[in-house]
Amino acid sequence: MEKKFSEYIKDPQTSVDLKLFSLNEDKENVICGVLVNPEIPIAYPILNGVPVLLPSAFPMDFVTHYKKELQNINEQFNNKLFFEGTKDNWSFSAEWEFHFKNSINKTWGWAVEDRFEQFLLETQSGKSELSDKLILDAGCGNGILTEYISSYSKLSFGIDLSDSVFYAEKNRKSKNVCFIKGNLQFLPFADEIFDIIVSNGVIHHSPNTENTFYRLSKAVKQGGKLYVWLYSIKGNFKWKIKRKFFDFARAIVCRLNKKMQNIIVSFFTIILKVLNKNIDKNELRINMYDSLTPRWRHYHTPEEIAHWYHKSGFGPICLTHFDNKYGFGAYALKTMTDKTPGENFDKLSK
């Protein structure tokens, strides 16, 4: 993480500014460090260049290696800090691990250049207007698009709950991008800070899509843009039956350990590859991870999303991919204020 990004990162629990303690750095790039909330005893590690803004996120080898340095930091806060660690098992970590280890150049069949052009189209943006913009890729996955965007933006952030961000940071070349491991329901940013937020196929995998949407919407500044892509509840009878089958299988597979998930994903990949030889095997395996391992998978309608945008102070939405059986995208400008006429907007000032 480049040091300049630390001023934008907040405590996801309290929104308080965090104090940076660098333990290992290369010029302005912090490789290992600690972010501390100076008001209450909460600390978060920076691991291999990635700020991990999650509770109890200190690996034991990190605590052991930097034992003396952590003790010195703790003394500054009256020894009230706890450098604890827990083992998470976020399902998408295995998916992106496979992606990087097999050097897959495309994401969902798209090259990064095509994804960037789609990003411009979906957010109704031009390359030249990105130069002074702060952009968040909420659920950045492999981070390839996030870094590509940073070539044109002022600064870009990519946040994801999976370990994909560590691979993204390892491959990072740009100094204008920061990858964070964190939860979209508890964003480590101030309200109304981003000019553009994109969340492509992500928030429907959170426990509550609507609540996660509202959290993202708060981080968009007035006049800013928010784009989300979600699974659609619509589709023909055949598609709905297929979806029901995978939802049933997912309810079982997502509760299994990583080894069993890999075996089942491999099995489905082999079967579907036999049925359709034209599909790339690696891309198919990624799709199976996405279909079988997430803990949550919600479906929505454009009318439902339009209501969320409206309640959050955004203007009329523009739909993309609305005729796609898989899902649809929605984009809008944050233009409403507490002075906007209408009964729904008197809550915005509260």
Element (H, E) at 332: strand 327-333
- What is the C-alpha separation between 130 and 152, in angstroms, rounded? 6
Contacts of 315 (CB under 8 A, 6+ apart): 309, 332, 333, 334, 335, 336
What is the structure's pLDDT at 41?
Answer: 86
Q: What is the mean pLDDT of residues 199-205?
A: 94
Q: Helix or strand or coil: residue 323?
A: coil
pLDDT tens digits, one per residue of 206-258: 999 999 999 999 999 999 999 999 999 988 888 889 899 999 999 999 899 88
Which residue has better confidence, 208 or 281?
Answer: 208
278 pLDDT above the threshold of 90: no
- Domains (ranges, CATH) in the chain? 3-75 (no CATH), 92-234+297-345 (3.40.50.150)
178 pLDDT above the threshold of 80: yes
Please tell me what DSSP assigns to residue 232: B
> Which tokens go with 153?
């933006």
350 pLDDT above the threshold of 80: no
In one letter, which amino acid is 184? L
46 pLDDT above the threshold of 70: yes
pLDDT tens digits, one per residue of 95-136: 545 555 655 566 656 788 999 999 999 999 999 999 999 999
pTM, rounded to two decimals: 0.89
pLDDT tens digits, one per residue of 132-175: 999 999 999 889 999 999 999 999 999 999 888 999 999 999 99
Provide, rounded to the nearest whole percent, the portion of the chain with pLDDT above 90. Answer: 68
What is the structure's pLDDT at 235?
Answer: 82
What is the structure's pLDDT at 100?
Answer: 56
What is the structure's pLDDT at 344?
Answer: 55
Confidence label for 349 from pLDDT (cuts 50, 70 and 90): very low
pLDDT tens digits, one per residue of 321-341: 767 778 999 999 999 766 565
- Residue-wise DSSP of 156-219: EEEEESSTHHHHHHHT---SSEEEEEE-GGG-SS-SS-EEEEEEES-GGGSS-HHHHHHHHHHT
- What is the C-alpha separation between 157 and 251, in angstroms, rounded? 32
Q: What is the mean pLDDT of residues 313-319?
A: 92
- What is the C-alpha separation between 235 and 325, in angstroms, rounded? 5
